[in-house]
Structure 1
Amino acid sequence: MNLPDGISVIQAGPEDAHEVARLVRALLLELEPGADAELSAMNLPKQAKDMLADQLIYAFFALYAGELVGVITLHRCAALYAGGVFGEVSERYVVPGYRSMKVGERLLDKAMAFAAKQGWQRLEVGAPPLAEFPRAQQFYEANGFICTGQRLRRLV
């Protein structure tokens, strides 16, 4: 099934927080299958609503025949190495039955257009571990991203 012509991408608002949270939760469970209890405790719908309302994140849905088939979330960053303000992809998820059908590309195209409109200097993304999810890095590299090293984290 090849869907590119029937896909539309729209910006989500605070009123769409439950759907943003539902799709992001699916992504997080795919990345960490045992994280269900931790994700439930995080109250993702409330977080999504608050962050969307405060414009701490921006979200876009991919739709096909009225069905939500993907989401991408972005946030604003700033750093000297980046030449000022830039954006980062926080999450990108495509429903499994719609992968390899250009849904991810459509979401990324919308994110790039939004970044340009915001005046961001670049768009960055942290990809999941290459050994476990090689297709994620291949997707981003095929869409013009350059691998600059891995990202580390430490909880506060």
Structure 2
Amino acid sequence: MPDLHIVSMADAPRVAEAVAALLQELDPTGHRTATTLFPVVTETLSLQSVTGILATDEKGTAGLVMLNDCAAIYAGGRFGEITELWIRPDLRSQGLASRMLHKVREIGATRGWHRIEVGAPNRATWARTLAFYQREGFAEVGPRLRCLL
């Protein structure tokens, strides 16, 4: 089973590769690569409000989850947001994502989070992903909207 550790700046290349793989799965027409994402990864990892958990094994990067510390009145104060969660395809449905979410919950408990939120991808295309989160105790609360600046 892959080892888990908190991401450090030394892990930036692995984080960039994992996020590039995730984005490629979500949008195969996109042109984001580990190289183009690397500057954003290093900037993001330098923020105190961002935490990552990296899973590694003998083949390299096995999984990644990235978290943000957030706060909102509706959420009762502090909460966490999962911004990226990716598992290498050959390791899916083997319990790694559940292990990583367990670690996320531990981090949240130590930080006084009242909840953890995640934006799920399109229901029709990613039904297995939605079902996974629901099995892990997440409940649907509606769509997420964005406004690009």
Q: TM-score range by the shorter chain?
A: over 0.9
Report the CA distance between 1:68 and its aligned residue. 1.7
Change (3 A) 1:12 1:123: same
The answer to whether the aligner puts 1:83 opposite 2:76 as a matched pair is yes
Bigger drift between 60-69 and 135-144 goes to 60-69
Measured against aligned partners, the alpha-carbon deviations of 1:125-149 in whole angstroms (never above 9, x if no partner) come to: 0000000100111000000111111
Question: What is the RMSD of the two structures over their aligned residues, measured on CA atoms?
Answer: 1.7
Q: Cα deviation per residue 1:88-138 (whole Å; 9 max; x = unaligned)?
A: 000000011110000111111111111111111111000000001001110
Name the TM-score, length of structure 2 as normaliser. 0.93
Q: Note closer, same or farther for the CA distance 1:131–1:59 as it changes in structure 2 (3 Å cut).
A: same
Q: TM-score, normalised by structure 1?
A: 0.89
Change (3 A) 1:76 1:137: same
For structure 1, the 5+ residue unaligned runs are: 1-5
Flag the 1:41–1:94 CA change in 2: closer, same or farther, 3 A.
closer
2:39 and 2:110 mapped to 1: Cα distance?
27
**CA distance in 1: counterparts of 2:36 and 2:15, whole angstroms:** 12
Q: Does 1:35 align with 2:30?
A: yes
* 1:25-49 CA distance string (max 9 Å, x none): 100010000111xx25993212111
Aligned AA (2:92): R
What residue number does 1:13 align with?
Answer: 8
The equivalent of 2:62 in structure 1 is 69
1 CA distance for matches of 2:51 and 2:59?
21
Q: Report % sequence identity.
A: 37
Name the structure, 1 or 2, with higher relative contact order (CA <8 Å, separation 6+). 1
The residue that corresponds to 2:141 in the other structure is 148
Q: Give, in angstroms, the shift of residue 66 of structure 1.
A: 6.2
| Aligned counterpart, 1:96 | 89
- Distance in 1 between residues matched to 2:125 and 2:148, nearest whole Å: 22
- Per-residue deviation, 1:8: 2.2
Where does residue 3 of structure 1 map in the other structure? none
Deviation at 1:7, TM superposition (A): 2.8
Task: Note the residue ranges of structure 2 that are not aligned, 5 or more in a row.
Answer: none
Query: How many residues were matched structurally?
Result: 149
- CA deviation digits over 1:43-84, x for unaligned, max 9? 321211122122232111112346321000000111111000
SS in 2 for 1:43: helix
**The one of 100, 123, 131 aligned to 1:130:** 123
